[in-house]
Amino acid sequence: MNRNDTSSPLIDKKIIHAGTASANFAPDAKVKFHFTTQIVNEDSGDPKEIDDSRKFKEPVEILIGKKFKLEVWESAIQTMAVGEIAEFRVDRTLCLSYPVVAKTLRDAFSPNKPKRDEHSQATSHCCGAMSMAKGPNLGYDDLNHLAEHPSTLLFKIELLSVEPPRSYKKEPWQMDENEKLAALPKLKDEGNQFYKAKKISEAAHSYAQALGILEQLQLKEKPGDEEWTDLANRKIPFLLNYSQCQLLQGNYYDAIEQCSQVLLRDPRNVKALYRRGIAHIKVWNPEEAERDLRSAAEEDSTLVKTVSAELQKLEEMKKEKDKSDGTWLRQAFAPA
């Protein structure tokens, strides 16, 4: 089906509102659109709506030529103009992957996820073979049913925009392996610039994106192998920077977790020890805080004065807490 065709044996197109601008669907172009999905009753022809992207947090985006799981969407969209609204009646044989795609979109973008059915909850505790034997387990009644009973679907699509390749910043999921590796130093520099400008939330986002990329790349390697170890080590500076952002934002448990990841690979890392110690104070783990802070001072003598001051504050906090706890106990057990 090309841009001049309005129908094919398996896809029937109906233009509802003409578009305002032609589009160049070059490979890697980013397409942004809204859609609704209706199941067509083969007997009566009456459609039943099951999805509407306008209820999602944001429109749907796909990249042309990246083998989107629902290929018919990419084919249909390339017949449209920007601003066009069209309906596509699509034969069931081209919609077999829709239930999985819809689950992914709902899980990622729907603010109000439907209540999961008892069947899906029960099978979630079964082994893989048992779950498959009992049918699909997508977590949504209508998608489970559609997966078991494929149907002709009616898609109503509004094409919002088409951005040419290299005109937008790619998200990590849009990158290939080489692009992901090339993005790491850029994300580190971007995060550092945000941090210097005291834009802590933005800095944290940049560091988190880099960590996400490294974790995605690690999934392709065998734990313990040279490539996996190299990626694990490359995470350390991003974990340290991210932990500092979390400390400043008051996310102390997250900071503890990130510093702990660093210390698993580098037990003597001073920054991780010190920052974890400070975070332990904030969540009132005094023994852990003291241990980490003393270890940091042992590794770096320039921290002795700073650590001593923090430990003095910690002792004063302990005394104040003991005093407060004693007062509470006396009040609790005082005669009426």
Q: Tell me what pLDDT residue 131 has.
A: 42
Q: Do the beta carbons of residue 154 and residue 88 sit within 8 Å? A: yes
Q: What are the tens digits of pLDDT across the range 67-97?
A: 788 999 999 999 999 999 999 999 999 999 9
Give me the domains of the chain, ranges plus CATH numbers.
11-163 (3.10.50.40), 172-332 (1.25.40.10)
Q: Do the beta carbons of residue 164 and residue 29 sit within 8 Å? A: yes
Q: What's the pLDDT band for 124 if we cut at 50, 70, 90?
A: very low
Q: What's the pLDDT band for 127 if we cut at 50, 70, 90?
A: very low
Eight-class DSSP state of 69: S
Q: What are the tens digits of pLDDT across the range 167-209?
A: 666 667 667 788 889 999 999 999 999 999 999 999 999 999 9
For residue 290, which of 313, 257, 262 has the smallest C-alpha distance? 313
**Residue 138 tokens, joined:** 């997508």
Phi-psi region of 24 (alpha: psi -120 to 50; beta: other; left: phi over 0): beta
Please state the rounded mean pLDDT for residues 238-260: 97
- Dist. CA 213–CA 238, nearest whole Å: 11
0.85 cut: is pTM over it? no
Q: Tell me what pLDDT residue 216 has.
A: 87
Q: Tell me what pLDDT residue 219 has.
A: 87
The SS3 of residue 66 is: coil
Q: Tell me what pLDDT residue 177 has.
A: 87
Eight-class DSSP state of 68: -
Q: Tell me what pLDDT residue 269 has.
A: 98
Q: Can you state the percent helix, strand and coil of the chain, rounding each to 5?
A: 55, 15, 30
